[in-house]
Structure 1
Amino acid sequence: MKIIVLGSGAGGGCPQWNCNCAVCASARNGSRMIRPRTQSSIAVSPDGKRWVLLNASPDIGQQLRVQPILHPKQGLRDTPIKAVVLMDAQVDHATGLLSLREGPPIELYVTPCVFEDLTTGLPILTVLEHYCGVHWHLLPVAGEQRICEFTIEGFETLRFRAVAIPGKAPPFSPHRHDSKVGDNIALEVTDLRSGKRLFYSPGLAEVGPNEMEWMRGADCLLVDGTFWSEDEMVKAGLGQKYAADMGHLPQQSTPERRGMMDALDETGAARKVLIHINNSNPILDDYGPERTELANRGIEVAYDGMEIAL
């Protein structure tokens, strides 16, 4: 299985267009080693020829242009991207669907909650019906059903499992303050030939017993790296919300809850990679002390164009 990190940043990327925080300013002036990052999305493939897109960020056009392996290969209009799976209905994960409107009908895999949000509060799917159209495939993660296994046509050697996780629905969703099963999912992708397993969860509010069960022993974890600390946005003067308010688990632990670093230490995963990194997060500095701490614990930080083979 091949994995390409198309975008590794959180909403707005880095540097964010209107942000002059310490990290964004350093990214612009080059005073620290901070790589530019677009908004998070990855692509997976069994053979390097056919690809499934996991989340479609607003930067998808740019991300595809800089990846030759994802360029059209046959005929005047072509794409090796054959399907899209969304983890949620967040703007930074779903609005890239609009940039795919010039192609064939989108084979889209979403939960009922996400479908509802993308046809009401943010009616992207309704708009796309006037362009390429959408073939919607239900992922029945809702109510008491928290897990579903599914296949994607043309990807028979990959097994996909969606699992409900704790998180936040988008601000435009009626579930924003009353979360429902299916608002947020993580995805397990297993290569049936090698047995290698990827666990992808760019938004994760907690790592409880259920989440740990899925993460433990994975060959690669690509998980929420949004914030370094619970009060990061407040301390930076960028807002009044804490990590928990936005549905993210920071890397650092607090007396109230275990952070992502401590959780990852318990997983036993062969590779542990943080993705969906906010522009305020000091781990974006390749040579900062926070990166050193992550490296000492065997935790990597995703970057745009990162390739992983399992």
Structure 2
Amino acid sequence: MKIRILGSAAGGGFPQWNCNCPNCDGYRRGTLRVSKRTQSSITVSANGEDWALINASPDILQQIQSFAPLQPARALRDTGIRAVVLIDAQIDHTTGLYMLRESTRPLDIWCTQPVREDLSIGNPIFRLLDHFCGVRWHELPLDGTKVGIDGLDDLAFQAHALKSKAPPYSPHRQSPQPGDNIGLTITDTRRKRSAFYAPGLAEIEPHVWQAMCDAHCVIVDGTFWTNNEMESLGLAPKRALELGHLPQSGPGGMMEHLARLPAATRKLLIHINNTNPILNEDSAERAQLGARQIEVCHDGLDIEL
């Protein structure tokens, strides 16, 4: 199974266009060893030719241009993208659907019922796309069923309901429903290798922990280093957990959980906010991750399982 990290940043990318935090300022001044990042998305394939796009970020056109297998190669109008799988309805994971409207066939989109509702009512992207290429919606079940997707032989997808936040425009923003946000196990059924992907994760419940333990590779929420990161910088009054993200440090943080995984598990952080000190490759926080064999995703990273 081949996984390409198309984008590794949280919403707004890095540097964020209107932010002058130490990381963004350091990038623009050239005083920090940091790399530019687009908003989080990955793509997955078993054969290297047919790909599932996992989330469609606002930077999707740039991401496609940077990765030849997604580009047209077989016909006048073409793409290696066979289906789109959405883990939630957040703007930074769905806005790219607008950019795919020139598709010559309806977009095959897999997501849960609550996400479909959000994208039909709260932020009606699906309805808008009906005026262009159209959408063929397929439900991602939450009962543990592994589903196959046409055109993606040897891959199976399993959704895991997560505790996180629905988008601000969701009808159930204040009354969370199972399926607002999911983690995704992606399995290469021929090679018997799997990855667990969850860029938004507020709590590691028992069923989520089991999915992480069963995977050969975990690519999980790396948004914030501390719970009060945004608050301490004077950027926002809300804390990481209130925003639906488990911080890496502190008691019960992501690092503690990742340390308990089997030694052979590859561990990566994605959806990294522009304020997170781990973006600075020379930071003490980055060194802590390295000592624990936890990787920080960057755009263009290739993973093979």
TM normalised by structure 1 equals 0.96
1:122 is matched with which residue?
A: 123
2:111 is matched with which residue?
A: 110
2:30 is matched with which residue?
A: 30
1:290 is matched with which residue?
A: 285
The amino acid that maps onto 2:219 is L
Where do 5+ consecutive residues of structure 2 fail to align?
none
Q: CA deviation at 1:165?
A: 1.0
Q: CA deviation at 1:193?
A: 1.5
The amino acid that maps onto 1:265 is A
Identity %: 52
Q: Give the number of aligned pairs.
A: 303
2:296 and 2:279 mapped to 1: Cα distance? Answer: 8
2:153 is aligned, of 153, 156, 167, to 156
1:275 is matched with which residue?
A: 270
Runs of 4+ in structure 1 displaced over 3 angstroms? none
1:159 and 1:208 mapped to 2: Cα distance? Answer: 22
Please list, as runs of the form range in 1=range in 2, the aligned pairs for 1:48-67 lying within 5 A after superposition.
48-67=48-67
Where do 5+ consecutive residues of structure 1 fail to align?
none
Q: What secondary structure is seen at the aligned counterpart in 2 of 1:239?
A: coil
1:115 and 1:159 mapped to 2: Cα distance? Answer: 21
Q: What secondary structure is seen at the aligned counterpart in 2 of 1:36?
A: coil
Q: What secondary structure is seen at the aligned counterpart in 1 of 2:133?
A: coil
Superimposed CA distance per residue, residues 135-159 of structure 1 (whole angstroms, 9 cap, x where no aligned partner): 0001233xxx4x3321101223111
1:264 is matched with which residue?
A: 258
The amino acid that maps onto 2:52 is V
2:40 is matched with which residue?
A: 40
Is the 2:55–2:87 contact (alpha carbons within 8 Å) kept by the matching residues of 1? yes
Q: CA deviation at 1:46?
A: 0.5
Superimposed CA distance per residue, residues 207-263 of structure 1 (whole angstroms, 9 cap, x where no aligned partner): 122211110142110000000000000001110010011000000124xxx000001
Please list, as runs of the form range in 1=range in 2, the aligned pairs for 1:171-250 lying within 5 A after superposition.
171-250=168-247
Is the 1:8–1:302 contact (alpha carbons within 8 Å) kept by the matching residues of 2? yes
Q: What secondary structure is seen at the aligned counterpart in 2 of 1:72?
A: coil
Cα RMSD for the two superposed structures = 1.0
Is the 2:140–2:159 contact (alpha carbons within 8 Å) kept by the matching residues of 1? yes
Q: What secondary structure is seen at the aligned counterpart in 1 of 2:18?
A: coil
Superimposed CA distance per residue, residues 150-177 of structure 1 (whole angstroms, 9 cap, x where no aligned partner): 1101223111111111111001112111
